[in-house]
Amino acid sequence: MTQAREKATAVKQQVAEKTTQVRAQVRGKATHAAHMVQDRTPEPVRAKAAAATGQVRDKAAHVGELAREKAPEPVREKADEAMRMARSNRTPLYAAAGALIALLFVRRARSR
C-alpha cells in the first residue's frame, strides 16, 4: 500500500511539473506569435483591432452578466471557476485574441 501511495504521489508531482512546463511553453509561443503579428501589422489595422477587442470585451462582459443573473446556482459556481482559471491565464488569452483579430483585419484588408 505504501509503495502505491508513493508511486501515486510521484506521478502527481511529475504531472504537475509537466503541466507547468507546457503552460510556460504555450504562454511563450502565444506571446511570440502575438508580437510577430503585431510587428507585421500596419498601425491603422492595429488601431482597429484594439478598438474591436475593446468592443468585444465590453459586449462579452454585458452578455456574461445577463447570463449570470438568469443561471442557476450550480452553473454560476462552474462559471466562477472557469473565470478564475481564465484570469490566471490572461496573458496568453489576450495575446491569442489580439493576434486573431489582427490576422482577420489583415486578411480583410488584403482581400480588398
What confidence tens digit (pLDDT) does each residue in 42-98 have?
888 878 888 888 898 888 888 878 877 887 888 878 878 887 877 777 777 777 777
Model confidence at 31: pLDDT above 80: yes
The whole-number pLDDT of residue 81 equals 84
What confidence score (pLDDT) does residue 99 get?
79
pLDDT score at 89: 74
Confidence at 10, pLDDT banded by 50, 70, 90: confident
Round to whole Å and give the CA distance between 95 and 27: 9
Ramachandran angles phi, psi of 44, nearest 5°: -60, -35
- Total residue count of the chain as it appears in this document: 112
> What pLDDT does 41 receive?
78
CB atoms within 10 A of CB 110: 7
Grid cell of 8 as nine digits: 501515486
Give whole-number Cα distances, 12 to 18, 22, 36, in Å.
10, 15, 36
